[in-house]
């Protein structure tokens, strides 16, 4: 942004060895007198003195800026700061030339301030090349500042600029020292780091972004370590590959590069919510090894187009878990009531994901005794609550199934069938899509059924209903 006066003096003295520092100062005072009082600082006068002597300061190292001093229109910006967020590469077409252009955003911070930095040209691969992580110290040279869509300064690094990792000692706070607790949040803030404990099963939902493109969001509740305050978390445009290997109730996590916004009363009674985007990083604060898990398979359905099997399983503590298995791992004939031992690739809420690169599964006949006396956890209709938890329900069909054709948001026309079931505690609607539509359509009024793996959601008229999942089954009881 600006040149350092001391460095300018040192540079000029090296170029003009016949002049002393006192003589240059006299020339500065003389220049100020000639131009007139109130027009020049010592540094401004030194530029004019150097010009008279035929000296240019183009090669003088410019002093570093602080983020708070950066303004729209600034050029030749030098900055040392720490990395907060790293965004994916974006592509767009220049209207004038029809040329494909790539860029990438970083968020950097120093003492109390943050700024978006846009990488261009050969700089876009810098994060990948150096394995850049939040908290890393970087040094930027010859950046230029433009206005962002929010009218805030954005520091750009193009062909003339540079960015590199720095190993210098820095007084800029580390990520650890910047982290705040859930119970410390009491106002709207940008670019924050939050530590907390996952307090609800995380779930991923689809939505249409502002470009009307299908995207995904991750939602869960975060609570402080003393169980005093809970906040809703929504990460928009989530990249599922960046979710920690274990994300379930009780996981200690850190959200890096999040935003505190006023809460939406439609979804939460909290005054504030935590929002993130594709640049937000979710870190597990405690690295837990995924140990072998013994399960009893209750249902299994092969999804051939996607080369996976969707299962509902029971663990030795009586918990129902969704199991998504890459079919390349299924060397043995696994069917209903098979006992397996597995090491998942990921644990996401009530779901275990076994992909072919880092997972293990085998039939474990010697573990049968673990499940001999373990009953399947059946639920009464009055106890059903909205969550990602699968339910097992025994009930009677109370209404003839009704089938209709529905257009999904992707334009697909699918079959949907619904009916009403009841037990001695209440009644509830059951909905089946696609293949499960056919299963429900075969039911008759008065049939006693066992519904395995239904999930409760909010349905029509703001009433809870049961939706069948890919692993769900519906059996008639004689």
Strands 413-423 and 402-407: antiparallel
Do 322 and 268 lie in a common domain? no
pLDDT for res 133? 96
The total number of residues written for the chain in this structure: 478
Do 302 and 362 lie in a common domain? yes
Number of domains in the chain: 5
Do 149 and 123 lie in a common domain? yes
- Whether 335 is in a domain gets the answer yes
For 350-364, the pLDDT digits (tens) are 999 998 778 889 888
For 412-454, the pLDDT digits (tens) are 788 999 999 999 999 999 999 988 999 999 999 999 999 999 9
pLDDT for res 38? 67
Cβ atoms < 10 Å from Cβ of 280:
26
Poorest-pLDDT segment among 66-75, 166-175, 216-225: 66-75
CATH number of domain containing 244: 2.40.50.140
For 46-75, the pLDDT digits (tens) are 888 888 898 876 655 556 778 888 888 888
- Compute CA 19 distance to the chain's CA centroid, rounded to the nearest angstrom: 60
Instruction: Answer yes or no: is pLDDT of 456 > 80.
Output: yes
pLDDT for res 114? 94
User: What is the DSSP annotation of 306-344?
Assistant: GTEEEEEEEETTS-EEEEEEEGGG--S---TT-EEEEE-
- Whether 450 is in a domain gets the answer yes
- Whether 58 is in a domain gets the answer no
Model's pTM, two decimal places? 0.78
pLDDT for res 427? 95
pLDDT for res 290? 85
Kindly state the average pLDDT of the residues 461-475: 91
Do 366 and 280 lie in a common domain? no
Question: What span, in angstroms and rounded, lies between the C-alpha atoms of 278 and 87?
Answer: 6
For 296-336, the pLDDT digits (tens) are 999 998 876 678 889 999 998 889 999 999 888 877 778 88
Instruction: Answer yes or no: is pLDDT of 1 > 50.
Output: no
pLDDT for res 61? 52
- Whether 468 is in a domain gets the answer yes
pLDDT for res 62? 58
Do 297 and 205 lie in a common domain? no
Do 44 and 73 lie in a common domain? no
- Whether 186 is in a domain gets the answer yes
- Whether 9 is in a domain gets the answer yes
pLDDT bin (cut points 50, 70, 90) of residue 267 is low
Instruction: Answer yes or no: is pLDDT of 6 > 50.
Output: yes
Do 278 and 301 lie in a common domain? no
- Structural domain boundaries enclosing 248: 179-284
First to last CA, the chain: 82
pLDDT for res 268? 64
Do 188 and 280 lie in a common domain? yes
For 382-409, the pLDDT digits (tens) are 999 988 889 999 999 999 999 998 887 7
- Whether 259 is in a domain gets the answer yes
- Whether 117 is in a domain gets the answer yes
Percent of the chain with pLDDT over 70: 95
């Amino acid at each position: 942004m600006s040149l350092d006066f001391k460095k300018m003096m040192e540079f000029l003295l090296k170029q003009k060895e016949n002049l002393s520092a006192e003589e240059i100062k006299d020339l500065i005072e003389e220049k100020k007198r000639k131009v007139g009082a109130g027009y020049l600082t010592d540094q401004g006068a030194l530029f004019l003195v150097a010009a008279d002597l035929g000296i240019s300061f183009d090669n003088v190292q410019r002093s570093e800026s602080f983020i708070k001093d950066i303004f729209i229109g600034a050029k030749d910006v030098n900055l040392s700061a720490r990395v907060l967020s790293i965004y994916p590469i974006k592509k767009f077409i220049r209207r004038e030339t029809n040329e494909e252009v790539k860029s990438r955003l970083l968020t950097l911070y120093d003492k109390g301030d943050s700024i978006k930095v846009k990488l261009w040209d050969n700089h876009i691969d810098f994060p990948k090349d150096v394995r850049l992580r939040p908290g890393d110290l970087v040094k930027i040279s010859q950046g230029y500042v433009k206005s962002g869509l929010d009218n805030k300064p954005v520091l750009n690094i193009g062909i003339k600029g540079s960015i590199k990792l720095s190993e210098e000692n820095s007084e800029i706070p580390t990520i650890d020292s910047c982290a705040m607790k859930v119970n410390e949040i009491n106002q709207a803030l940008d670019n924050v780091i939050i530590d907390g404990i996952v307090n609800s099963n995380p779930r991923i939902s689809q939505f249409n972004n502002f470009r009307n493109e299908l995207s995904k969001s991750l939602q869960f509740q975060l609570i402080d370590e003393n169980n005093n305050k809970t906040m809703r978390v929504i990460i928009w445009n989530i990249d599922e590959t960046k979710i920690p290997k274990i994300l379930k109730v009780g996981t200690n996590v850190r959200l890096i590069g999040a935003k505190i916004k006023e809460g939406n009363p439609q979804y939460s009674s909290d005054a504030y919510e935590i929002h993130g985007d594709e640049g937000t990083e979710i870190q597990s604060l405690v690295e837990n090894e995924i140990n072998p898990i013994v399960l009893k398979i209750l249902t299994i359905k092969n999804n051939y187009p996607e080369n996976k099997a969707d299962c509902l399983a029971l663990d030795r503590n009586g918990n129902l878990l969704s199991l998504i298995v890459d079919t390349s791992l299924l060397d043995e004939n696994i069917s209903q009531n098979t006992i397996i031992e597995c090491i998942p690739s990921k644990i996401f809420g009530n779901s275990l994901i076994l992909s072919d690169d880092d997972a293990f599964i085998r039939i474990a006949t010697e573990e049968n005794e673990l499940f001999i006396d373990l009953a399947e956890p059946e639920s009464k209709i009055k106890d059903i609550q909205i969550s990602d938890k699968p339910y097992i329900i025994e009930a009677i069909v109370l209404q003839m199934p009704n089938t209709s054709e529905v257009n999904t948001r992707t334009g697909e026309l699918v079959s949907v069938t619904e009916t009403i079931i009841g037990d001695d505690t209440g009644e509830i609607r059951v909905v089946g899509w696609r293949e499960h539509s056919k299963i429900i359509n075969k039911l008759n009024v008065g049939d006693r059924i066992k519904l395995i793996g239904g999930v409760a959601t909010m349905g029509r008229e703001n009433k809870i209903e049961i939706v069948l999942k890919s692993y769900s089954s519906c059996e008639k009881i004689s």
